[in-house]
């Protein structure tokens, strides 16, 4: 018995030692950037640990390096509310804008001293927030809309650079750390090469590839992508108190085992920030990862607190973006693409050019007016611009083709041959085929299935093209009656992928009214308008029956959008498709109508408020449904009068409009917030 006990003790010790050693090597490799053993030796230790754990599964702990993958694929991601919202950064694109930033910072802090800044490369990746409790990684979430993200814990655990347990002795009980997950250039090129060989989706840039990898329901797929991370911020107020400067915060991160970008630099004054920007712009081609600018932060956290934030954008930090990349190439031909609403977009097919790891072979020409304005012809040498996620565009002609060929707008749709309509005064020409046009049908279905709409995972563009071409799907409702055999028979589809799509279709049936309205693809109804429609009317029947006046009562909806909405529901075909979708099982929770007491009220702000700026006050009021006007009239509900209020206050008194002082105004915000 005693012998048995001793044996077990030895095994426990062995396992603990192996884990400690592996963690040490991970730390040396990822945080200190100083590998301490060869890959082969590392693998040997890892396999030894795996073997011991296999023999003694009762000794497996969640922070063991072997436990990065293993959880079952998820059905869907759950939502996470960020205790402290995940803000975003203001952008600067010129030295003048950086000058204005520095001036504003010093003005607000009432100092003429040069400011101490920390400059960091701006990783072109995906922001995440990771929570550690008593040192153990317990949850990871995407940024989402800043307030609510998605729980991607399983996927974050697969990234070797993310410690499953924090190191060191001074770890807060609870701490949320924020950083950027990215895909190094080499990993991106390898991933795309693999995808191409398997005829799978090619990612347009490393950021999209990183985002796509984090959005996998099966963490084994995420693990196969060589994701990396750098940490840069904190998302909770940990106790004991953490450091008082950004540089100290980053050093503390390193001591906890969290990797921090080694190119981060503390500098004094704006000129040094600008020099850092220049040096990064020169270095970026050689870096192993994509950066799209630098981030400049006020170092002192005391100052950061004093400066605060406006609309979740800290006033103490700014992203100084690199200019868009431009390359020269030749236009080989021009085609017209037909979009969801029938809009014809001229697209230039280019002699392929390679920019920062991405091959560009198409660029948008926007519309015919642009072609004429820029004097573009087939065969021209042109400059093409690629900026972030947007589709590359032709900027200008460098050298005209020897023999120019005029580009003409087709009179008939290149896809369905319906007449092309060009309404006087509108830049866009449209195919008049409506849903008869396969291109419009395909685009409508792609939009319906897209992530922010019905989020039908795996139903990619190529599959939708095939479904429409083979006439299996005519409208979005047909998606829900597809069979396993029909899907499995498509090109490059196996039974497993077909199963996954059926599962995703099933999952998509549980949605929200706002998503459903957005998914319908009504012209000019984006996500924000769809949300407003859902909140305002509360149910689908009321949206469908709304009059033009009722629609225009919503702040963002003017006569044009109202007409598009009415026209959509008046088209005989559309209510029938909606009926079929509901019959197929699409449902959503009842919408709690969020009619604020301030809905329909008009405010005018005058004078200086002590507690917030004019913009902030305006935004707070608008978020509560109020309108903010620039001048007082008899229709004004309230005038908020700060210090040194002037003529607007006098006018309010003359017109007998209710006047609020700052205290009363704050009270209204509190009661309705």
CB of 396 to ligand 5U1, least distance (A): 32
Among 36, 61, 67, 88, the residue binding ligand 5U1 under the rule CB under 6 A is 88
The full 3-state SS of 284-298, as one line of letters, equals CCCCCCCEEEEEEEE
Q: Which is nearer to ligand 5U1, 232 or 336 (CB)?
A: 232
Q: Burial, 299: exposed, middle or buried (Cβ in 10 Å; 0-12, 13-18, 19+)?
A: buried
Catalytic residue among 7, 8, 45, 122: 122
CB of 236 to ligand 5U1, least distance (A): 13
CB of 87 to ligand 5U1, least distance (A): 5
Among 209, 295, 394, 479, the residue binding ligand 5U1 under the rule CB under 6 A is 295
Containing 379, the helix (H) or strand (E) segment is none
Q: Which is nearer to ligand 5U1, 158 or 304 (CB)?
A: 304
Chain-centroid distance of CA 441 in Å reads 26
- For residue 476, the tally of other CB atoms under 10 A from its CB is 25
Residues 631-670 that bind ligand 5U1 (CB under 6 A): none
Among 206, 233, 342, 642, the residue binding ligand 5U1 under the rule CB under 6 A is 233
The stretch among 81-89, 216-224, 500-508, 661-669 that binds ligand 5U1 (CB under 6 A) is 81-89
Give the single-character DSSP code of 412: B
Separation of alpha carbons 34 and 61, rounded Å: 27
Q: Which is nearer to ligand 5U1, 130 or 295 (CB)?
A: 295
- Whether 471 sits among the annotated catalytic residues: the reply is no
Q: Which is nearer to ligand 5U1, 297 or 447 (CB)?
A: 297
Q: Is the dihedral of CA 479, 484, 490, 492 positive or negative?
A: positive
Using rule CB under 6 A, residue 149 touches ligand 5U1? no
Q: Which is nearer to ligand 5U1, 298 or 605 (CB)?
A: 298
What are the structure tokens assigned to 86, written together? 């995940």
Separation of alpha carbons 376 and 378, rounded Å: 7
Using rule CB under 6 A, residue 127 touches ligand 5U1? yes
The stretch among 51-59, 85-93, 201-209, 531-539 that binds ligand 5U1 (CB under 6 A) is 85-93
Separation of alpha carbons 441 and 342, rounded Å: 10
Classify each residue of 486-518 as buried b or exposed e, where b means 16 or more C-beta atoms within 10 Å of its C-beta.
ebbebeebeeeebebbbebbebbbebebbbbbb
Using rule CB under 6 A, residue 87 touches ligand 5U1? yes
Using rule CB under 6 A, residue 91 touches ligand 5U1? no
List, edge to edge, every strand of the sheet that includes 317-321. 90-92, 317-321, 291-298, 116-123, 265-268
CB of 388 to ligand 5U1, least distance (A): 14
Using rule CB under 6 A, residue 259 touches ligand 5U1? no
Q: Which is nearer to ligand 5U1, 289 or 603 (CB)?
A: 289
Among 314, 342, 346, 392, the residue binding ligand 5U1 under the rule CB under 6 A is 314
CB of 152 to ligand 5U1, least distance (A): 17
Closest CA to 347 of 398, 407, 387: 407
Residues 106-125 that bind ligand 5U1 (CB under 6 A): 120, 122
CB of 129 to ligand 5U1, least distance (A): 11
Which residues lie closer than 8 Å to 389 by C-beta, 6 or more apart? 204, 205, 207, 208
Q: Which residue has the tokens 């990771």?
A: 130
Q: Report CA-CA distances (Å) from 91 to 88, 292, 388, 511.
A: 9, 11, 13, 34
Q: How many helices (DSSP H) and strands (DSSP E) are in the chain? A: 24, 24
DSSP line for 158-193: T-TTS-SB--SS---SEEEEEEEEE--HHHHHHHHH
What are the structure tokens assigned to 384, written together? 């093409």
Containing 349, the helix (H) or strand (E) segment is strand 344-355
Using rule CB under 6 A, residue 225 touches ligand 5U1? no
What are the structure tokens assigned to 109, written together? 């802090």
Using rule CB under 6 A, residue 317 touches ligand 5U1? yes
Residues 451-470 that bind ligand 5U1 (CB under 6 A): none
Which residues lie closer than 8 Å to 297 by C-beta, 6 or more apart? 117, 118, 119, 120, 246, 304, 316, 317
Q: Which is nearer to ligand 5U1, 314 or 433 (CB)?
A: 314
CB of 318 to ligand 5U1, least distance (A): 9
Among 49, 89, 307, 546, the residue binding ligand 5U1 under the rule CB under 6 A is 89
**Backbone dihedral angles phi then psi of residue 60, each to the nearest 5 degrees:** -70, 135
Closest CA to 155 of 118, 181, 192: 181
Q: Which is nearer to ligand 5U1, 181 or 270 (CB)?
A: 181
Q: Which is nearer to ligand 5U1, 135 or 233 (CB)?
A: 233
Q: Which is nearer to ligand 5U1, 297 or 321 (CB)?
A: 297
CB of 295 to ligand 5U1, least distance (A): 4
Using rule CB under 6 A, residue 232 touches ligand 5U1? yes
Q: Which is nearer to ligand 5U1, 303 or 638 (CB)?
A: 303
Among 180, 292, 380, 662, the residue binding ligand 5U1 under the rule CB under 6 A is 180
Q: Is the dihedral of CA 569, 570, 574, 575 positive or negative?
A: positive
CB of 211 to ligand 5U1, least distance (A): 15
The stretch among 86-94, 281-289, 550-558, 639-647 that binds ligand 5U1 (CB under 6 A) is 86-94
CB of 488 to ligand 5U1, least distance (A): 43
Kindly determine how many residues on this chain lie close enough to bind ligand 5U1 according to the rule CB under 6 A: 13
The full 3-state SS of 483-507, as one line of letters, equals CHHHHHCCCCCCHHHHHHHHHHHHH
Using rule CB under 6 A, residue 210 touches ligand 5U1? no
CB of 314 to ligand 5U1, least distance (A): 5
Which sequence positions are flagged as catalytic?
122
Task: Give contact residues for ligand 5U1 (rule: CB under 6 A).
Answer: 87-89, 120, 122, 127, 180, 232-233, 295, 297, 314, 317
């Amino acid at each position: 018995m005693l012998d048995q006990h001793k044996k077990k003790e030895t095994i426990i010790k062995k396992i603990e030692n192996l884990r400690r050693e592996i963690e040490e090597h991970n730390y040396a490799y990822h945080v200190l950037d100083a590998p301490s053993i060869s890959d082969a030796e590392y693998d040997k230790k890892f396999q030894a640990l795996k073997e011991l754990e296999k023999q003694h599964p009762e000794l497996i702990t969640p922070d063991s390096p072997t436990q990065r993958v293993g959880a079952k694929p998820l059905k869907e991601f759950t939502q996470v509310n960020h205790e402290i919202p995940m803000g975003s950064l203001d952008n600067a694109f010129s030295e003048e804008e950086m000058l204005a930033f520095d001036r504003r910072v010093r003005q607000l802090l009432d100092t003429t001293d040069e400011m101490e800044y920390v400059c960091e490369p701006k990783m072109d990746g995906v922001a995440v927030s990771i929570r550690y409790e008593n040192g153990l990684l317990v949850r990871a979430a995407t940024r989402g809309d800043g307030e609510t993200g998605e729980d991607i814990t399983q996927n974050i655990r697969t990234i070797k650079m993310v410690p499953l347990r924090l190191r060191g002795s001074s770890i807060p009980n609870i701490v949320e750390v924020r950083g950027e997950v990215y895909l190094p250039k080499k990993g991106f090129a390898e991933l795309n090469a693999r995808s191409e060989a398997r005829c799978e989706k090619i990612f347009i840039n490393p950021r999209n590839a990183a985002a796509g990898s984090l959005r996998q329901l099966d963490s084994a797929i995420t693990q196969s992508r060589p994701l990396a991370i750098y940490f840069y911020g904190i998302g909770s107020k940990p106790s004991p108190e953490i450091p008082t400067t950004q540089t100290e915060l980053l050093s503390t991160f390193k001591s906890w085992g969290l990797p921090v970008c080694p190119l981060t630099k503390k500098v004094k004054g704006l000129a040094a920030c600008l020099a850092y920007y220049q040096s990064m712009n020169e270095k970026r081609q050689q870096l192993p990862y994509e950066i799209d600018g630098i981030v400049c932060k006020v170092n002192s956290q005391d100052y950061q607190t004093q400066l605060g934030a406006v609309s979740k954008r800290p006033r103490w930090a700014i992203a100084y973006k690199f200019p868009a990349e431009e390359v020269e190439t030749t236009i080989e031909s021009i085609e017209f693409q037909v979009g969801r609403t029938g809009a014809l977009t001229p697209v230039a097919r280019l002699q392929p050019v390679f920019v920062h790891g991405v091959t560009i072979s198409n660029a948008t020409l926007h519309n015919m007016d642009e072609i004429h304005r820029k004097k573009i012809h087939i065969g021209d040498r042109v400059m093409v611009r690629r900026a972030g996620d947007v589709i590359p565009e032709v900027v200008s002609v460098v050298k005209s083709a020897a023999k120019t060929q005029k580009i003409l707008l087709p009179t008939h749709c290149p896809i369905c041959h319906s007449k092309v309509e060009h309404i006087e005064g509108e830049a866009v020409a449209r195919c008049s085929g409506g849903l008869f046009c396969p291109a419009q049908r395909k685009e409508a279905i792609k939009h319906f299935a897209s992530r922010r709409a019905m989020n039908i995972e795996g139903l990619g563009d190529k599959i939708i093209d095939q479904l429409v071409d083979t006439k299996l799907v005519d409208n979005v409702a047909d998606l829900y009656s597809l069979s396993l055999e029909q899907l499995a028979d498509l090109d490059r589809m196996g039974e497993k992928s077909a199963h996954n799509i059926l599962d995703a279709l099933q999952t998509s049936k549980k949605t929200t009214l706002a998503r459903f309205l957005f998914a319908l693809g009504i012209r000019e109804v984006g996500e924000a308008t769809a949300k407003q429609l859902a909140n305002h009317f509360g149910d689908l029947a009321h949206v469908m029956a709304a009059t033009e006046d009722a629609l225009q009562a919503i702040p963002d909806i003017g006569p044009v959008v109202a007409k598009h909405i009415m026209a959509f529901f008046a088209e005989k075909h559309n209510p029938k498709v909606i009926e079929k979708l509901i019959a197929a099982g699409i449902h959503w929770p009842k919408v709690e109508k969020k009619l604020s007491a301030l809905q329909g009220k008009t405010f005018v702000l005058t004078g200086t408020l002590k507690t917030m700026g004019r913009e902030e006050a305006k935004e707070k009021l608008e978020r509560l449904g109020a309108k903010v006007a620039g001048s007082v009239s008899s229709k004004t509900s309230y005038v908020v009068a700060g210090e040194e209020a002037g003529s607007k206050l006098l006018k309010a008194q003359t017109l007998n409009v209710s006047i609020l002082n700052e205290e009363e105004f704050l009270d209204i915000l509190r009661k309705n917030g």
